[in-house]
Amino acid sequence: MRGKSWTLVLLASAGVAMAQSAPEATPDEPAGGTMLDNALGDVLGDHPLDRGWTVRLEPAYWYAAPRGDVTIRGSEGPVSFEGGTFGDESDVDLFDLDADDPTGALLSRAHIANGRWRFTLGGTYLTEDGSSGPTEAGRIGDAFFVPGDRVETDFTFWTIEASAAYAILHGPLPGERGDPDRLRYALELLGGARVESIDFDLDVTPGAGSRPPELGLSASASDVFAQPIVGARLSLDLFREVTVEVGATVGYFGWTNTQTTTTWDVLAAISWRPVEHVGVEFGYRNLGLSAEGHESDLEFTGSAAGVFDGVVVEF
């Protein structure tokens, strides 16, 4: 019995000693965590995302230039003129119409975030006027122009999009777990929908040259396109004052094998908030669309791209 008692005393003493020597759990290191757990926590962002309900508004001035080819289907079939044939689905480059100069446009986004989720509603509006003197005969829709004419164009492009994003990776960088005020990051995957509208008008002021009698002096068409989008966004917060963001989305929708709409959007921005809740933002955006084979009279393949600056209001 005495031997058994001494054995129990020794086991109890060893247990107390092990409990006293075990490290205490800290908020950043759960009890029982291993070095592997901690390493995975750094890589996978296993830290609370310090983002309660937050509203962020970003109105901006976008200095963008439209680029691309426009096709308007004509009601008249192919027309022969001075040895050439001009089809009813001829396209024209905005560059040739002098409708591709950088112009002031509107760009805005609104975000609502909570924890890992962020919901975004955004839009753009761009309009460009062009005036050109053609150097050779051409046709778009049922409008025909020859050298000596004056061609006036009006191109309007606007978009609306809505998306929901989820942060799959977030937190301080490895080695900075205890100081999220210095640097934080979040990698988000997003999905949503985008709607684009294009309105194109062309008017010809005739010169002294002759022209086919079947065709007129004006053409116009408009259409609205929509498609689902997916993408990713990476943001870095520095000292809770500077935010660097890069992101891209792509979208596609096909009615048939010949009727398709493809869209893309690339954005890079940096914002600085010198005072609480208010700051400034600078960046670059490239927003593109390819709409082909639609039953409407309009097809377009091109983009609008340029730098922007604006204000940031966050609360």
Task: Render pLDDT for 97-152 as a digit per residue (tens, 0 to 9).
Answer: 999 999 999 999 999 999 899 999 999 999 999 999 999 999 999 999 999 999 99
Q: Each residue of 220-254: pLDDT tens digit?
A: 999 999 999 999 999 998 888 899 999 999 999 98
**Percent of all residues in the chain with a pLDDT value above 70, rounded to a whole number:** 79
Q: Each residue of 266-286: pLDDT tens digit?
A: 999 999 999 989 999 999 999
Question: Is residue 312 predicted with pLDDT exceeding 80?
Answer: yes
64 occurs within a structural domain: yes
- Which 8-state DSSP code applies to residue 78? -
Which span out of 33-37, 204-208, 291-295 was modeled with the highest average pLDDT?
204-208
76 occurs within a structural domain: yes
280 occurs within a structural domain: yes
101: region left, alpha or beta (phi > 0 left; psi from -120 to 50 alpha): beta
| pLDDT at res. 104 | 95
Q: Which residue in this structure is represented by tokens 């900075």?
A: 176
- At 22, the pLDDT band (50, 70, 90 cuts) reads very low
102 occurs within a structural domain: yes
| Helix-strand-coil split of the chain, %, nearest 5 | 10, 60, 30
Q: Which domain holds residue 73?
A: 51-314
38 occurs within a structural domain: no
How far apart (Å, rounded) are the C-alpha atoms in residues 194 and 267? 15
Q: Which residue in this structure is represented by tokens 């914002």?
A: 271
196 occurs within a structural domain: yes
- CATH number, domain of 122, equals 2.40.128.90
- At 202, the pLDDT band (50, 70, 90 cuts) reads very high
Q: Hey, what amino acid is at 61?
A: Y
Contact indicator for 298, 70 with CB cutoff of 8 Å: yes
Average pLDDT over residues 297-309: 95
Q: Each residue of 65-98: pLDDT tens digit?
A: 999 999 998 888 899 998 888 988 888 999 999 9
23 occurs within a structural domain: no
Handedness of CA 12, 18, 20, 22 (dihedral sign): negative
Number of domains, the chain: 1
Cβ contacts of 259 within 8 Å, gap of 6 or more: 292, 293, 294, 295
Question: Is residue 10 predicted with pLDDT exceeding 70?
Answer: no
**Percent of all residues in the chain with a pLDDT value above 90, rounded to a whole number:** 64
How far apart (Å, rounded) are the C-alpha atoms in residues 275 and 281? 13
- Which 8-state DSSP code applies to residue 29? B
Question: Is residue 16 predicted with pLDDT exceeding 50?
Answer: no
Give the residue from 272, 279, 301 showing the smallest Cα distance to 289.
301
* Higher-confidence position of 24 and 110: 110
90 occurs within a structural domain: yes
